[in-house]
Amino acid sequence: MMSERQPIIQARDVHFHYTPGRPVLKGITLDLGPGATAIVGQNGAGKSTFVRLLNGLLKPVEGQVLVAGVDTRQMTVAQLARTVGLVFQNPSDQLFKSRVLDEVMFGPLNLGFSAQEARERAEAALAELGLEGLEARNPYDLGLAERKLVTVASVLAMGTPVIILDEPTIAQDQVGVRQLGAIVDRLARAGRTVITITHDMEFVARHFQRVLVFQDGRVLADDTAEAIFAQPELLAAAGLQAPPITRLGQALGLPATVLTVEAFVEAVRAGEG
């Protein structure tokens, strides 16, 4: 069994392809543990493929993925779902119930919670995403932004130690992005392992301690958000850009890398003061 110190997810020289001769992942080795980790990188770099390997939907062609110390090849996806919750990139791939509440209760019920408990968990998750009042609606009738939030709620309600969000901020407005950020912060503080794929660099800068830069099936960099955003050449090579406020700080020659508007304002005031 797993010891206290063992990282909950270990990838060991993971290789993967959908079609032979077209490698998608080319040897990924890394550990993931408590806290918020962002995965960023170009379209087609293999980010979504990688997280599907973490919840067992895909199995490595070479190498291994260990979840809580066990090779994913030795477990079914349903067994892995007790540990790893995955929100898909495309909400239509995930939603299949005709009522929002049933959708969100589906996971907890499968994990063995009673109907009463499942309902409470579902309602709490919906509330955290600001979706109260939509319980009886059909997910298909909702807009893309709300549909995406329903998928997040349905995984959140399962309470898994590992939560993977594939591009949660798609179609979200400012309020939605803030809510998602608050959820990431809360889960990370509670010691859960939160892995988030995103192209929103401001979201990364604000909420993630660790950043993995994927490029062409490899991990190009693995560092803190500050360190990553301080390297324009690295970012350019991976099709990325630091958030505008960070670039403004760099252009004005602020001594430290600033990641948020508040930090920028403070740094400028400190310089003036």
Partner 1 sequence: MRLSLYVPGDTWVHRLDPMTKLLMTVVGIGLTFLLPSLQGGTLLLVLLLAVLGSAGVLHRAAAVYVGVAIVAGTFLVVQGLVYPGNAVPALTLGPIVFYREGLLVGLRLALRLYNILSATLILVLVTHPSDLVEAVVRRGASPRLGYVIMAVLQVIPTMMATASTIMDAQRSRGLETEGSLWVRLKAFVPVMGPLVTGSLIATEERALALEVRGFSGEGRPTFLKEEVIPPYATAARLVTVAALAAGIAGRWLLGW
Partner 2 sequence: MAVIEVENLRYRYPRQERLALDGITFTVEPGEFIGVIGPNLAGKSTLCQALVGLVPHFYKGAIGGQVRVAGLDVHRSTVAEVSRRAGLVFQNPFTQISGAKLTVYEEVAFGLEHAGVPREEMRRRIDEALRLLGLEAVKDQSPFALSGGQMQRLAIASVLAMEPEVLILDEPTSQLDPAGTEEVFEAVTALCRRGMAVVMAEHKVDRLAEHADRILVLHQGRQIAYGPPRQVFARENVAALGVAVPAVTQAAKALGWVLEDGTYPVTLAEAVAVGQARRGGR
Ligand X SMILES: Nc1ncnc2c1ncn2[C@@H]1O[C@H](COP(=O)(O)OP(=O)(O)OP(=O)(O)O)[C@@H](O)[C@H]1O
- Binding residues (CB under 6 A) for ligand X: these are 18-19, 24, 41, 43-49, 89
Question: Using an 8 Å Cβ cutoff, are 194 and 165 in contact?
Answer: yes
Q: Given candidates 167, 168, 217, 225, which one binds partner 2 under the rule CB under 8 A?
A: 167
For the CB of residue 78, give the shortest distance to partner 2 in the complex, in Å. Answer: 25
Q: Does residue 196 belong to the site contacting Mg ion (CB under 5 A)?
A: no
At residue 250, φ and ψ (nearest 5 deg) are: -65, -40
Answer for which of 3, 19, 76, 116 binds partner 2 (CB under 8 A) is 19
Q: Which of 24, 81, 129, 195 binds partner 1 (CB under 8 A)?
A: 81
Which of 20, 174, 255, 273 forms a contact with partner 2 (CB under 8 A)?
174
CB under 8 Å to 106, separation ≥6 — which residues? 97, 154
Is 261 a binding residue for partner 2 by CB under 8 A? The answer is: yes
Token pair of 104 as six digits: 């969100």
Contacts of 98 (CB under 8 A, 6+ apart): 138, 139, 140
**Which of 37, 48, 169, 257 forms a contact with Mg ion (CB under 5 A)?**
48
Nearest-5° angle of CA 62, CA 194, CA 129?
135
Listed ranges 31-39, 53-61, 118-126, 239-247: which one lies at the site for partner 2 (CB under 8 A): 239-247
DSSP one-letter string for 33-73:
-SEEEEEEE-TTSSHHHHHHHHTTSS--SEEEEEETTEEGG
Residues contributing to the site for partner 1 (CB under 8 A): 55, 57, 76-79, 81-82, 85-86, 88, 92-98, 106-107, 110-111, 140, 154-155, 158
